[in-house]
Structure 1
Amino acid sequence: MSETTSPVVVIGAGQAGLSFCAKLRSLGHEGPITLIGEEATAPYQRPPLSKAYALGEMDRDRLLLRPLEFYEKTGITLKTGVKATAIDRTAKTVALSDGTELAYGTLAIATGSVPRRLPEAIGGHLDGVLTIRDLEDADRFSALLKTAKSCAIIGGGYIGLEAAAVASKLGLHVTLIEAAERILQRVAASETSSYFRSLHDSHGVRILEGARLARLRSDNGKVTGVELEDGSTIDADFVITGIGVHPADTLARDAGLEIDNGIAVNSSGQTSDSSIYSFGDCASFPYQDGRIRLESVGNAIAQAEAAAASVMGTEAPYVAKPWFWSDQYDVKLQIAGLNTGYDKVVTRPTDEKCVSFWYFKGIRLIAVDSMNDPRAYMVGKRMIEGGKSPDPAQIADPAQDLKTLATVDTPA
């Protein structure tokens, strides 16, 4: 069977999996396509879960990435509430939790990532301890927000800060606990950390940095607070953990596929088995002189569509253009590029509410954090993707028109 008619099975009904299916159809694939999802609902957006959905500003139907009619119209078989349990690469079949098997000519794994959880030994299993990763988590979070008076958040990354913003906005007493010396330490410069620390402080959120968790306190199996290693305690009606994720690569690992910080793929999205593709949060791919794994909606869509093109024989090497965002209170953070290895940060103030931080590695611009300044984000993104690096002194001058800098050549 040709690439246009052979059966395709996609494991993981998220943004990446659906994007792959839709792109295959748009490129002319005529064979069966089956999309498998563990959750009972059709594919939906995840970013609003900790923000607009939790606040009640977006209903469940608006979360859906596509209306249900889309699957029937395009001939994509959507199987929800079922889990892929094993891959037989020799027989080219996928075993499902409902006891059935699916044959494939091409298999795609888009299983995403899994939240890291607190150990049971310190209370991670208690009622009232949650992550915010899927719709069920978000529904629990939303329900707790309506009855609770206080909450504690473990982890000062973007998920934790977004949850803190929502809880604070609804009037809860919020304490955020970060073990590192500062919030966002793993992903941002101290300038960005300071900006968001001040923002949350102005909204009454208590942020504890360099604070290590000892255990969760409880009463009859329900969390009642947090105890830190210094002996201090914090009362909390519920606890959110935002301590990172790891790639959901167990299924691929058990099938004998190559693993390297996730499922290792080439620039076309192929795994170590040429009949199996992977993309999104669970996959690591070639980038510059190494490999990376990106956890973002933009990457999930672009990488999935590139893999679909490869299946259809029109592939071009996937070139990542990293970008991310976060919404907290009335601030929209937009990030372009990756700041890994930066040695200089240049601040560009625009007005009282707008600022951007520009990351340089030597003389090369590698990333921009933009707060309420979409122009800085767009110009910075264009520069990074075009290999342009402006004079840092000009970036720091708010009177300098950014558009004129976008055409400069990188110094030799």
Structure 2
Amino acid sequence: MTDAAIAVVGASAAGLTVAEALRRGGYRGRLSLVGAEPRVPYERPPLSKRVLTGATPPEDTAIRDAGYLEKELALDLRLGVRATGLDVSGTTRRLTLETGEHLDCDAVVVATGVRPRALPGTEGIDGVHVLRTLDDAVALRESLLTGGDLVVVGGGVLGTEVAAAGRTLGLRVTLVTEERETLGAVIGSELGGLVAQVHRAHGVTVHTGRTVTGIPSCDGRVTGVCLDGGLRIAADTVVLAIGSVPVTDWLADSGLDVADGVVCDAQCRAAPGVLAAGDVARWWHPHHDRTLRVEHRMNASEQGMAVARNLILALDSPGTPALAYTPVPYFWSDQYNWRLQAYGVVAGADRVEVLHCDAGAWDEVPPRALALYGDGERALGVVGIGLHPAAARALRGAVAGDASGPVPWGRALDIASAANDGNW
């Protein structure tokens, strides 16, 4: 094991988890951690919430410091260096860095994450922002602190969180989405409509089912956002939260399948000696009978540990079958004074049953809702808004399944209903 060399490409939560789990598992060989950003790994979830509002200083987002990475983990740390190529044709994997250096490895883990989508023609316009990195968050906060009008383009998790942060800072906020409802593509229109009502109750102007046709500027500074139908919205700051794309361009000549991420088997293997973890990985999930790519913090840690476990198995016990990665995906979103939590796969469900949904003055009282999501007779996901933490955790059992697959709809309905009973 100690003679093997491993490189982890991507110095964020998933990549760091792989490195830490390898060391905990007894791996003592050369372990390189390559990251495009010139900073130690940091937490991304606070960026759109606590960093924007000022509740968390940017420096407090660091997961580990450089001393720990270099001394305790004994990493060959390459921060501020991009990977530009990967050759998997030989007996070893050859990783090429932008410095021109080559790292010959027994195994490579791809954890390069995603990059935000941008609107063509908005490059270089002052006041137009995307949000992915800590630098993005710092720049956006500086813009928000100038006040005025904020327009958020995109009604997903990131867009709604930024809108909530803007209102918390006292800005006039408009949220625009092409979907029928905010979070519609994430949790469906049934609860997405509730989220839109909550934002409106907090003073956000919400435009659903609308398309951005242009982002005008004057002297290089954004002045507004134009929508279909001729509506023009004044804007001092515009945030584009219109999705992301996996960072796989550096793998174009590798021979790996990089259609919407690095395509892997159920054991997170993309090729012999090549595995993937985190936002960039699209792996086969046996319980769902399809590939999944999950852009959430919990998956970064869980998949990172799974990858490290399978690497150690391959190094210590060649020929031992690797273990399938079969998580219950989980994500949360904090907005205003409430939290949304989701377990399983909820996007694109064929069947949705709302078990609870409050109506009220949500600028003062947090919303409360619960819905079960499925496909035919199988329960695949569950969403709780404003649920007591213990009850929310209990919801996991409604969709956790076992070796035989997902939970039957009737049983899941009983579990979710029990969690709903008075647990608000």
TM-score (normalised: structure 2): 0.88
3-state SS of paired residue (1:271): strand
- Structure-1 separation of matches of 2:194 and 2:305: 36
Report the alpha carbon displacement of residue 355 of structure 1 after superposing the two structures with TM.
2.4
Q: Does 1:39 align with 2:47?
A: no
Instruction: Quote the residue 2:404 is aligned against.
Output: none
Instruction: Quote the residue 2:118 is aligned against.
Output: 117
Q: 2:336 aligns with which of 314, 329, 340?
A: 329
Instruction: Quote the residue 2:411 is aligned against.
Output: 390
- Given that residues 106 and 276 in structure 1 are in contact (C-alpha distance below 8 angstroms), is that contact kept between their aligned partners in structure 2? yes
Q: Which moved more, 1:29-38 or 1:174-183?
A: 174-183
Q: Which moved more, 1:389-398 or 1:165-174?
A: 389-398
| Structure 1 residues 264 and 4, CA gap change in structure 2 (3 angstroms) | farther
| Structure 1 residues 362 and 56, CA gap change in structure 2 (3 angstroms) | same
| Structure 1 residues 259 and 197, CA gap change in structure 2 (3 angstroms) | same
Instruction: Quote the residue 2:300 is aligned against.
Output: 300
Name the amino acid aligned to 1:97: E
Aligned length: 397
- Structure-2 separation of matches of 1:253 and 1:232: 41
Q: 1:356 aligns with which of 370, 374, 379?
A: 370
Instruction: Quote the residue 2:188 is aligned against.
Output: 189
- Structure-1 separation of matches of 2:81 and 2:413: 53
Instruction: Write out per-residue CA displacement over residues 141-183 of structure 1, whole angstroms, 9 at most, x where no aligned residue.
Output: 1111111311111111110000000011111001111122222
- Given that residues 349 and 373 in structure 2 are in contact (C-alpha distance below 8 angstroms), is that contact kept between their aligned partners in structure 1? no
Which aligned pairs between 1:72-151 and structure 2 lie closer than 5 A? 72-89=71-88, 90=90, 92-120=93-121, 123-151=122-150
Report the alpha carbon displacement of residue 350 of structure 1 after superposing the two structures with TM.
8.0
Q: Does 1:380 align with 2:395?
A: yes
- Given that residues 108 and 276 in structure 1 are in contact (C-alpha distance below 8 angstroms), is that contact kept between their aligned partners in structure 2? yes
Report the alpha carbon displacement of residue 193 of structure 1 after superposing the two structures with TM.
1.0
Instruction: Quote the residue 1:279 is aligned against.
Output: 277
Name the amino acid aligned to 2:110: I
Instruction: Write out per-residue CA displacement over residues 291-320 of structure 1, whole angstroms, 9 at most, x where no aligned residue.
Output: 111111111111111111111117421112
Report the alpha carbon displacement of residue 83 of structure 1 after superposing the two structures with TM.
0.8
Instruction: Quote the residue 1:408 is aligned against.
Output: none
Instruction: Quote the residue 1:409 is aligned against.
Output: none
- Structure-2 separation of matches of 1:164 and 1:391: 33
- Structure-2 separation of matches of 1:173 and 1:253: 43
Report the alpha carbon displacement of residue 260 of structure 1 after superposing the two structures with TM.
3.5
Instruction: Write out per-residue CA displacement over residues 41-81 of structure 1, whole angstroms, 9 at most, x where no aligned residue.
Output: 10000010111111111123321111333211120122111
Instruction: Quote the residue 2:379 is aligned against.
Output: 365
Report the alpha carbon displacement of residue 361 of structure 1 after superposing the two structures with TM.
3.4
Name the amino acid aligned to 2:116: P
| Structure 1 residues 301 and 139, CA gap change in structure 2 (3 angstroms) | same
Name the amino acid aligned to 1:98: T
Instruction: Write out per-residue CA displacement over residues 242-288 of structure 1, whole angstroms, 9 at most, x where no aligned residue.
Output: 1111111122232111233211111222112x011111111111123
Q: Does 1:211 align with 2:210?
A: yes
Instruction: Quote the residue 1:310 is aligned against.
Output: 310
Q: 1:68 aligns with which of 52, 66, 69?
A: 66
Instruction: Write out per-residue CA displacement over residues 305-358 of structure 1, whole angstroms, 9 at most, x where no aligned residue.
Output: 111111111742111211111010011111011124332322225896432222
- Structure-2 separation of matches of 1:355 and 1:258: 40
| Structure 1 residues 391 and 111, CA gap change in structure 2 (3 angstroms) | closer
Name the amino acid aligned to 2:378: R
Q: Which moved more, 1:140-149 or 1:347-356?
A: 347-356
- Structure-2 separation of matches of 1:346 and 1:255: 46
Q: 1:341 aligns with which of 334, 349, 352?
A: 349
Report the alpha carbon displacement of residue 93 of structure 1 after superposing the two structures with TM.
2.4
Instruction: Quote the residue 1:232 is aligned against.
Output: 231
Instruction: Quote the residue 1:263 is aligned against.
Output: 262
- Given that residues 84 and 251 in structure 2 are in contact (C-alpha distance below 8 angstroms), is that contact kept between their aligned partners in structure 1? no
| Structure 1 residues 338 and 391, CA gap change in structure 2 (3 angstroms) | closer
User: Alignment RMSD, CA only?
Assistant: 2.2
3-state SS of paired residue (2:183): coil
Name the amino acid aligned to 2:289: D
Name the amino acid aligned to 2:351: D
TM-score (normalised: structure 1): 0.91
Q: 1:21 aligns with which of 2, 16, 19?
A: 19
| Structure 1 residues 397 and 32, CA gap change in structure 2 (3 angstroms) | closer
Which aligned pairs between 1:392-407 and structure 2 lie closer than 5 A? 392=413, 400=421
Report the alpha carbon displacement of residue 400 of structure 1 after superposing the two structures with TM.
4.3
Instruction: Quote the residue 1:169 is aligned against.
Output: 168
| Structure 1 residues 4 and 316, CA gap change in structure 2 (3 angstroms) | farther
3-state SS of paired residue (2:294): coil
